[in-house]
Amino acid sequence: MSTTGEGDVARFKRQAAERAVEAIQPGMVVGLGSGSTAAFVVHRLAALRAEGMLMDVVGVPTSVGTEALARASGVPLTTLEEHPVVDLTLDGADEVDSALRLIKGGGGALLREKIVAQASRRVLIVVDAGKLSPRLGTRWPVPVEVLPFGWRSQALFLEGLGARITPRQGPDGALYRTDQGNFILDCAFGPIERPEQLASRLEARAGIVAHGLFIGLTSELVVAGPSGVEFRRPS
């Protein structure tokens, strides 16, 4: 029986990212996601620019880390203040179901990622086949970004919804801070029967800044695995 190792996963991510970059057209404003898959997007875009292509494309980074990578790679950047409508966003995901609903935020950039996705005409999500799931929450907790003020009350609220809470920690053992200075509570709900209903309850709670359920935002999924690269649209 064959197994998929870390090297294979990285190769699949790169293959999917490079295919997704083919959707970028000259003159576009492109949302640049965060995480390892999005890094492949930035590297590919930089390589094309080095060949003299897509020179008038500008990126909107979804995290401080992506901004630093893009600048180091020579990819020109802009902001949503300068370009409030994004033509195309390329980003990854932690878990994807058959309706192309997502769990995102494993890298901590869920708020900016969602802002950019909602500002985009088209969102391509780039994943390896291991991110596909029969039901959201089966393989990944839902990250919930909360204000530091009163965060323990948010934890109690989330536990009341059935979540097992793990406050995210940084490498130093302190509570992890997002680019906005907020905390993240990783919420293990188990397989989520009604993601839309859960999303609505989270959005109605004061003190919850963002959650990692991305519903109705994916225009197309680019997934790579042992059988190659496949494109999927919402059913």
| pLDDT per residue as tens digits for the range 155-210 | 999 999 999 999 999 999 999 999 999 999 999 999 999 999 999 999 999 999 99
pLDDT value of position 214: 98
Distance CA 7, CA 205 (A): 41
pLDDT value of position 235: 73
pLDDT value of position 4: 59
pLDDT band for 2, please (50, 70, 90 cuts): very low
pLDDT value of position 8: 85
Half-sphere exposure of residue 216, counting CA atoms within 13 Å on the CB side? 5
Please give the average per-residue pLDDT across 110-117, as a whole number. Answer: 98
Please give the average per-residue pLDDT across 107-130, as a whole number. Answer: 97
Sheet holding 220-225, edge to edge: 58-61, 29-32, 88-91, 123-128, 220-225, 228-232
Q: Which of 118, 132, 103, 120 is nearest to 16 (CA)?
A: 132
Coil, strand or helix at 85: coil
**How far out from the chain centre does Cα 117 lie?**
9
Question: Catalytic positions, please?
Answer: 113
Q: Which of 106, 190, 102 is nearest to 143 (CA)?
A: 106
